[in-house]
A and B are shown apart, each in its own frame.
Chain A
């Protein structure tokens, strides 16, 4: 009873608070004016008072020759009101609306208007309207434009309201709705007037339930000339109140995976008077449609004939051994074709053109690779996926829009691996970290086969230091060898490009001034990448005592986790292991004042060892720290944070050498 009462009271209070702020276009309440700082988030530069949108199906008629074609477009109207709370929030009144115009065949920008309200010291209110001549169209490319307008007379304290209407012929993709943005929102609502000829699924993310939801039949009867039936719109309204600003944290995939929002996808439509057609309603069907499409199936077919030529002329000494042959082919693609930086799950140009210019999207490259492998008699399938930056796939909802990338699955009996030929510096049988996002769909006829992308990928460094202390020059000289395996090797190859100066800079940042550096295996991607250097490092002297850092600045110098608490999982993408070995020759007349205590931690989350030994004039320090999981849950945050702090504190601990 008590619980129920409390929740009722809570509901009453929230309703009451939001009722004080106007949600009526053109009407501003006293409470809207009086709000100068948003107490719940005093840092907020602006506050969304309301953000309300409405999608509906409107009748359209098109004359096609002597026929009149009847159909529907979706009209999307949005009304938004913002209060500017700080100087930095003024930019929120610079409006920019993206429209996918597709050379006149796509969305249409119908209307934009904005009002700015200001209240002076005496309380009189001035309303300024956006001049229609101040709306500019910026063409980004043949398909996409932005409509831009800077609202007039905006200052701290202004209330800006604007509305715009877009019209879209794309029924497969009803306008999505984000309840949450990077500033707080008092009320956000989305209304969709559904008609019986289209059915949609939606995914609500980041929320357990709507604060407001209603569904009812409209009063007005409509009739469809195309289907020859009368019908009523069914109106659905979804609302959320008091939505906090989304604040980005480190180690997340993409904010799109966490924002409060609704995504819609067409699931069925009325194909004729009597039949409803399923749209992408199963993964196998989605695979089949993809295979039949021009940009996928046809591209694969076209590239197959090019592959024949390539195998005959461009790859010399193609091995008979299947494993070796697959490697040769993937490495050939990596070496000779360049990724243009665009992800795609289907080709973005004709196979012939890609072969000619040797540059293309990830799909152009990887589908071409699949064709080469197949033409060479190797079993291979494309795997479509969503990169980490593109967000997570919701596996219960078979929609193509989840995907943005395709990679290669080599699937021989004796060996199976995933490959991405668009990333040049990663081994032929590895995929970049950005691909490691849950699972990918293996594309073949009627396929519902998924492959795990979060393959136990790790990043391993082994750093070996051999140093001799010279108390006269206050330097220790010797050599450093860094052996990087797996993803650690990729990052080093990618960051320093095997360039001597870059490598010297890297060592210098870690406290080692090198006069000679060499590296091994830069091009042998499946081998460890090894950096070996000779040089020296400065040591500190305090009244004759020498202070040394056994691992120089190679360990973490500060804790990468800064926040006190954490709401989202900590997604490192990789497990990580850093091993360090330092052998230090100390001068005869010096000895360690004391050696730090050894430590050893090993549990299911992390592992650390640090061990000090002295053998005559030789100090040997062995250390290791490992992050065992690629993703930690929010409730593990404080443990992991503390663990990083232990690493920072212990691995950077100095040893004091005093005179005997």
Chain B
């Protein structure tokens, strides 16, 4: 019997960066101890590199626990292939793979590799981690750079720092003070925000064209130059814009029509080529192929708007849910996505151009509420995308049960969804078969013995931010009979699963709110009973949100309504016990709630 031995741990992760006139050389030396079979995943290594970079595996060794070499890999052990494992349709990059497998545990592996890059805009965005699930004992970064090479440095975490000068160079050393591990928790900061890391951004750089990251404005100018003159449309698309918008007066309606045209005629395909994937394909490429990545589709949308006389701006953003926060004090290329921003009469329209199904002017959990860089000639600046608020996420369901004596029930469901639940059903509406949707709704309702007779997903219109789901279900075990009692268990409202305060490591961080109201209406006219009992109303409020439960009998109907609202926000760890106690007390009440009919 074993007590969860960690699969592996990183003994050291050392990186040395050398900046010279010929480019940047990064040398990584990594040693990992593999403790058992589960740790063998860390012995399988793969490194990707772009075609204009040089990657050299300098050594790869299997060591015993004392550090003696058991085996050294040969050149023929390193396998080359295209980098086909990424999310792109095709990538102009390659991959070297090798395996440092051994059979006797524990053992260690050590590998050293070097990358030489001529052109770069980031000296390093150094996260010295193999995997967030294992402990990293020691990690160290060294930087050697010419004296006159200006960089902005951000250090997060605890390091011993040493700065030395000599022969026209500056030498930095950051040495870890404490081992690092990360625990994945609900409502916690993103790994990339939490983990120790060092970002080194050069003020000036050459990446195809020269640029500056001294300020966001200057970095924005560089992106502006990359995008410049790409917004030419083909004749046919220009003509199409005229056809679509000539008869429309209202600017917002024009934008909407063009956005729909983009959605109906293009699709997202990522083929990153050229300038390390930074330079967008021109709008004409999208005109011809009717596909592109986020940059190309945004440039294309921008070109459509320009043709209609509407000014818009591309916005570089860190997309993700949860997402890494942009450090606004450190200008540089940290972005992974591009959207479009269209100012109209003092208001702003936001356009996500890679989705064929998103509503117009809709930013979901993937891009909401964060800093992003708006690109404008000589005027690029940070903007904040609108945050999802409570009314944007309200999901409400009504379940009407016609209960029969044999425990069966005819159930009518109406479910209105918004927020990330909307995101799912919006996808399901166009991408998931009716049969699979029926299976899923039973899982959502937690009905184990039931059949969906009718199911529909109703989109009010293509730009609606909510979706209505309607279903007719025959449930075969709608309640339970115990002795002379009939017990009805309304489904729980669905609370997040939280760790106890003793186990919690992170502070509390709720990116966007949760708001749901569930109504259960039970028609009990067919049941035999002499008495009805259910718990009294409950209202549990805290600074984190509220839980409310009301139940009424009206004639032969019992109406049970409950509400859960969790506010967005960041709270220090000291507040976590309060949050936990609010969630748990609400959850306990909700879980224990039952309606008891007695027949004496």
The residues of A with any CB-CB pair to B shorter than 8 Å are 42-43, 45, 86-88, 90, 94, 128, 131, 134, 136-142, 146, 148, 150, 152-155, 336-338, 340, 356-359, 497-501, 517-519, 522, 542-543, 545, 547, 557-559, 562, 593-594, 648, 654, 656, 658
Q: Contact: A90 with B267, CB < 8 Å?
A: yes
What are 13 residue pairs bridging A and B, where the CB atoms are less than 8 Å apart in the complex? A43-B435, A86-B430, A87-B430, A131-B289, A137-B82, A140-B81, A153-B290, A338-B103, A501-B3, A517-B1, A542-B482, A543-B485, A558-B448
Max count, chain A CB within 10 A of own CB: residue among B1, B271, B594, B598? B1
Bound-state CA distance A338–B2 (Å) is 21
Residues of B within 8 A of A559 (CB): 449
Q: Contact: A519 with B1, CB < 8 Å?
A: yes
Q: Contact: B84 with A140, CB < 8 Å?
A: yes
Residues of A within 8 A of B40 (CB): 338
Residues of A within 8 A of B483 (CB): 545, 593-594, 656, 658
Enumerate B62-76 residues with CB–CB distance to A below 8 Å.
71
Q: Contact: B103 with A87, CB < 8 Å?
A: no
Partner of A542, one of B89, B271, B485: B485
Residues of B within 8 A of A90 (CB): 267, 356
Total chain B interface residues with beta-carbon distance under 8 A = 48
Enumerate B437-491 residues with CB–CB distance to A below 8 Å.
439, 448-449, 480, 482-483, 485, 487
Whether B4 sits at the interface, judged by CB under 8 Å, is yes
Residues of A within 8 A of B2 (CB): 497-500
Q: Contact: A150 with B89, CB < 8 Å?
A: yes
Q: Contact: A88 with B430, CB < 8 Å?
A: yes
Given the known A-B contacts A337-B103, A358-B103, are A138 and B90 also in contact in the complex, defined by CB atoms under 8 Å?
Answer: yes
Bound-state CA distance A517–B2 (Å) is 11
The DSSP consensus for interface residues of chain B is mixed
Bound-state CA distance A569–B38 (Å) is 36
Bound-state CA distance A658–B449 (Å) is 28
Q: Contact: A141 with B482, CB < 8 Å?
A: no
Instruction: Name the distance in Å between A158's Cβ and chain B's nearest Cβ.
Output: 10
Whether B357 sits at the interface, judged by CB under 8 Å, is yes
Bound-state CA distance A359–B103 (Å) is 8
Which A residue sits closest to B436, measured CB to CB? A43
Bound-state CA distance A137–B83 (Å) is 11
Whether B556 sits at the interface, judged by CB under 8 Å, is no
Which B residue sits closest to A134, measured CB to CB? B289
Q: Contact: A542 with B4, CB < 8 Å?
A: no
Partner of A88, one of B99, B431, B448: B431
Instruction: Name the distance in Å between B87's Cβ and chain A's nearest Cβ.
Output: 13
Q: Contact: A522 with B485, CB < 8 Å?
A: no
Which B residue sits closest to A501, measured CB to CB? B4
Known A150-B89, A357-B71; further 5 A-B contacts with Cβ < 8 A: A43-B434, A543-B533, A557-B448, A558-B449, A559-B449
Bound-state CA distance A347–B103 (Å) is 20
Q: Contact: B84 with A138, CB < 8 Å?
A: yes
Q: Contact: B3 with A500, CB < 8 Å?
A: yes
Partner of A358, one of B1, B102, B267, B448: B102
Instruction: Name the distance in Å between A93's Cβ and chain B's nearest Cβ.
Output: 8
Bound-state CA distance A656–B487 (Å) is 12
Given the known A-B contacts A87-B431, A152-B291, A500-B1, are A542 and B269 also in contact in the complex, defined by CB atoms under 8 Å?
Answer: no
Bound-state CA distance A42–B439 (Å) is 17
Which A residue sits closest to B264, measured CB to CB? A155
Instruction: Name the distance in Å between A367's Cβ and chain B's nearest Cβ.
Output: 18
Bound-state CA distance A352–B547 (Å) is 67
Whether B433 sits at the interface, judged by CB under 8 Å, is yes
Given the known A-B contacts A359-B101, A547-B482, are A518 and B1 also in contact in the complex, defined by CB atoms under 8 Å?
Answer: yes
Instruction: Name the distance in Å between B593's Cβ and chain A's nearest Cβ.
Output: 12
Given the known A-B contacts A136-B271, A140-B81, are A148 and B482 also in contact in the complex, defined by CB atoms under 8 Å?
Answer: no
Instruction: Name the distance in Å between A87's Cβ and chain B's nearest Cβ.
Output: 4
Residues of A within 8 A of B439 (CB): 562
Residues of B within 8 A of A155 (CB): 264-265, 267, 290
Q: Contact: B101 with A338, CB < 8 Å?
A: yes
Which B residue sits closest to A337, measured CB to CB? B103
Q: Contact: B3 with A152, CB < 8 Å?
A: no
Max count, chain B CB within 10 A of own CB: residue among A43, A519, A562? A43
Residues of A within 8 A of B341 (CB): none
Bound-state CA distance A648–B79 (Å) is 52
Which B residue sits closest to A502, measured CB to CB? B4
Q: Contact: B269 with A94, CB < 8 Å?
A: yes
Q: Contact: B103 with A336, CB < 8 Å?
A: yes
Instruction: Name the distance in Å between A298's Cβ and chain B's nearest Cβ.
Output: 21
Partner of B288, one of A45, A131, A138: A131
Instruction: Name the distance in Å between B46's Cβ and chain A's nearest Cβ.
Output: 13
Q: Contact: B103 with A543, CB < 8 Å?
A: no
Instruction: Name the distance in Å between A565's Cβ and chain B's nearest Cβ.
Output: 14
Bound-state CA distance A594–B481 (Å) is 12
Residues of B within 8 A of A557 (CB): 448
Which B residue sits closest to A358, measured CB to CB? B103
Instruction: Name the distance in Å between A38's Cβ and chain B's nearest Cβ.
Output: 13
Bound-state CA distance A338–B4 (Å) is 21
Bound-state CA distance A69–B269 (Å) is 46
Bound-state CA distance A545–B533 (Å) is 14
Residues of A within 8 A of B1 (CB): 498, 500, 517-519, 522
By Cβ-Cβ distance, the 4 closest A-B pairs, closest first, are A88-B431, A152-B289, A87-B430, A43-B433
Instruction: Name the distance in Å between B303's Cβ and chain A's nearest Cβ.
Output: 17
Residues of B within 8 A of A648 (CB): 449
Which A residue sits closest to B265, measured CB to CB? A155
Q: Contact: B269 with A150, CB < 8 Å?
A: yes
Max count, chain A CB within 10 A of own CB: residue among B102, B291, B356, B448? B291
Whether B342 sits at the interface, judged by CB under 8 Å, is no
Residues of A within 8 A of B90 (CB): 136, 138, 148
Residues of B within 8 A of A562 (CB): 439
Instruction: Name the distance in Å between B550's Cβ and chain A's nearest Cβ.
Output: 22
Residues of B within 8 A of A153 (CB): 265, 289-290
